[in-house]
Structure 1
Amino acid sequence: MHPKDNQLTFIMKPFNSAFKLFLGIFSLLQLNSPFAFSQSLEVKIDSLLETTFTPVGPGAVFLVAKAGEPIYRKAFGKANLELNVSMTPANVFEIGSMTKQFTAISILMLLEQGKLQLDDEITKFIPDYPTQGKRITVHHLLTHTSGIKSFTSMKSLRAIERQDLTPTELVDFFKNQPMDFEPGEEFKYNNSGYVVLGYIIEKLSGKTFADFVQDNIFQKLGMNSSQYASHSQVIENRAYGYHQKDNYVNKNYISLSLPYSSGSLMSTVDDMLKWNEALKKNSLIKAETKANAFENHTLNNGDKINYGYGWHISNIDDSPSLEHGGSIFGFKSMGVYLPEEDIYVIGFSNCDCNSPTTLTRDIAHLTLENF
């Protein structure tokens, strides 16, 4: 070997050692970086969702945000089976009962404007409402403790499901039903209560529920892909809804005047993140007013009901969580917010055969593990 080769070998040995040390330190830093955590989280979430949503079936969109910034945003499956159109993160879904969040905050806006009080009896706004001698308040409606019969549990609903009703006609449909219990005695999830709230919003604001939410929430927050749902309107990026029987079928038709303020809004995961951020930053109502929505309210006997105004009050891995889902023909939705960790998870599905409820909570759990 040439002497210079010996010299080169001597020089390269310490260089190689130093380079390997550098690579080791770099790899260690990378593994402990937020980027590496998000890569690991992405793989875990992908694995979870790909077991439910296939490339050829109805799909879903999921978004995870930390401190208001998306760290996961993906679409799965098809937005339209007949046209073979793949889902994208920008697709618009009917969100069902997640509408109740917007109805509740609209009521709290009217509270701040001095147009109502939470302990006002509903007969203040609907004088002819037959309360059967009971004292039913706005608070009872918001917390599903009114005892009013939920119209979605009535067998006669099938007779009107395709009819376009005014809010007055919809209230008239259920108002004479026997009450399920004394106001404040029980918690029973109730779509009728949120219909009455929508009717109150219209009476006090002079606007339709759709226009009130559009003007005071969607437009103000730049939620440009959100609106009151429509069957006839051409809606950009609309995801079509499906049922699964032996095969997938198009969703059943129901007049969107029936879900009304209990379940007739449409949105995207991006717009819902804007919504969550606006609530977090008190952009729409004051913090002390908002506290009513996120308080775990009580029954007459003092028992907690695990519900605020438009949100379930729960926990994931001992972390407090604010949650709500939605279900309407052809669509299911679920949102989870962990306020202490500032983690938001939202999932939409365009087949009511694939509920995102458990998946969304599982993703929140995975996200907690990674931060």
Structure 2
Amino acid sequence: MDINKPVVHYLADFPYGDSITIKHLLSHTGGLPNLIPLAWIHLDAEHHNFDEQEFFQSIIQKNAKSQALPGVKFNYSNLGYVILGNLIETVSGTSFKTYVEDHIIAKLAIDNEVLGFTIPHPANHAKGYHPKWSLTNMVLGFFVDKKKFMATTERKWRAFNLFHVNGSAYGGLIGPPMAFVKYIQALLTKDLLISDYYKNCLFEEQFIAKGRKTGMCLSWFKGRLNGHTYYCHAGGGGGYYSEIRIYPELNRGSVIFFNRSGMKDERFFG
């Protein structure tokens, strides 16, 4: 794929116009709606029969209007990742999950039961929690069916039943911290996952109108700590929060996992 080409070149039914490029989606500058994905979950028991394509067809149809012209403003959108996943499926002729397993996970020498898109051993899976006495717990009820998705109260915490996010391309990977450590190590290794040329593209900060910096590269946020540039991405929601980070100059990285809710971008400094 040429990331500078319009998305409609590959997805004819893309509803947001013919000016949005793949690069716009990767850098969250395409003007797509920024929807709250807290409700986009299903129980582990429902995972085998869950139809991801059907679910997001409905979401996109209901939110088919752009929020801004492409390249004008930065607006994070999980929906953009859903469409990027569809792009990979259309061009490769295989599912997004299979593509990731074959072209990334296999190169890490990790078994699919260690890092993948299912919960292979529910008894060993970290239970997610949300603080019971909090304003966000009240707000959560507007997005999530608590009777269905939340279990017992343990001290000051409300536990979640095991669940999956509905979109594999915006946060569906499941695995222990050490599996993501191996991913970071592979990304820092020369030519193991992608070439140095494409790494430079991946970690090049993007700009919007009037030359304003976005603080984001191609799906990686940019920051500085103790005089060193780092690139990171975090993800969270009900019951969980995580961040992966790399420092190319130092040839180092970090992985932080929490089994408690995270509702915003949290930067950790040590």
- For Structure 1 versus Structure 2, the TM-score category normalised by the shorter chain is 0.7 to 0.9
The aligned residue for residue 269 of structure 2 is 362
Does residue 177 of structure 1 match 2:78? no
The aligned residue for residue 78 of structure 2 is 191
Q: Is the 1:324–1:335 contact (alpha carbons within 8 Å) kept by the matching residues of 2?
A: yes
The aligned residue for residue 232 of structure 2 is 323
Does residue 136 of structure 1 match 2:20? yes
Shift in CA distance, 283/236, structure 1 to aligned 2, threshold 3 Å:
farther
TM-score of the superposition, structure 1-length normalised?
A: 0.59
Does residue 227 of structure 1 match 2:116? yes
Q: Deviations over 1:153-206 (max 9, x none)?
A: 6xxx85x75483333541442254321110110111110111100011111112
Q: Which amino acid aligns with 2:130?
A: H
Give the superposition deviation at 1:293.
1.0
Gaps of 5+ in 2: 134-155
Give the superposition deviation at 1:268.
2.1
2 CA distance for matches of 1:220 and 1:182? 38
1 CA distance for matches of 2:206 and 2:265? 26
The aligned residue for residue 298 of structure 1 is 207
TM-score of the superposition, structure 2-length normalised?
A: 0.79
Q: Which amino acid aligns with 2:117?
A: Y
Q: Is the 2:129–2:159 contact (alpha carbons within 8 Å) kept by the matching residues of 1?
A: yes
Give the superposition deviation at 1:315.
0.6
Q: 1:204 aligns with which of 86, 91, 96?
A: 91
Q: 1:98-113, aligned counterparts within 5 Å? A: none
Shift in CA distance, 125/329, structure 1 to aligned 2, threshold 3 Å:
same
Does residue 275 of structure 1 match 2:183? yes
Mean CA deviation greater in 170-179 or 300-309? 170-179
2 CA distance for matches of 1:198 and 1:238? 26
Q: Which amino acid aligns with 1:138?
A: I
Gaps of 5+ in 1: 1-115, 364-371
Shift in CA distance, 240/297, structure 1 to aligned 2, threshold 3 Å:
same
1 CA distance for matches of 2:265 and 2:12? 40
The aligned residue for residue 351 of structure 1 is 260
Q: Deviations over 1:115-172 (max 9, x none)?
A: x1011211122212222x450110011000111113336xxx85x7548333354144
Q: Deviations over 1:57-108 (max 9, x none)?
A: xxxxxxxxxxxxxxxxxxxxxxxxxxxxxxxxxxxxxxxxxxxxxxxxxxxx
Shift in CA distance, 221/161, structure 1 to aligned 2, threshold 3 Å:
closer
Task: Decide which structure has the larger Cα Rg and report it.
Answer: 1
Identity across the alignment (%): 26
- How many residue pairs get aligned? The number is 238
Does residue 312 of structure 1 match 2:199? no
Please identify which structure carries the higher helix content: 1
2 CA distance for matches of 1:165 and 1:259? 10
Shift in CA distance, 267/130, structure 1 to aligned 2, threshold 3 Å:
same
Q: Is the 1:348–1:356 contact (alpha carbons within 8 Å) kept by the matching residues of 2?
A: no
The aligned residue for residue 126 of structure 1 is 11
Q: Is the 1:197–1:261 contact (alpha carbons within 8 Å) kept by the matching residues of 2?
A: yes
Q: Is the 1:306–1:312 contact (alpha carbons within 8 Å) kept by the matching residues of 2?
A: yes
1 CA distance for matches of 2:41 and 2:176? 26
Does residue 145 of structure 1 match 2:145? no
What do you get for the CA RMSD once the two structures are aligned? 2.5
Q: Is the 1:171–1:195 contact (alpha carbons within 8 Å) kept by the matching residues of 2?
A: no
Q: Which amino acid aligns with 1:275?
A: Y
2 CA distance for matches of 1:268 and 1:161? 20
SS of the aligned residue for 1:227 comes to coil
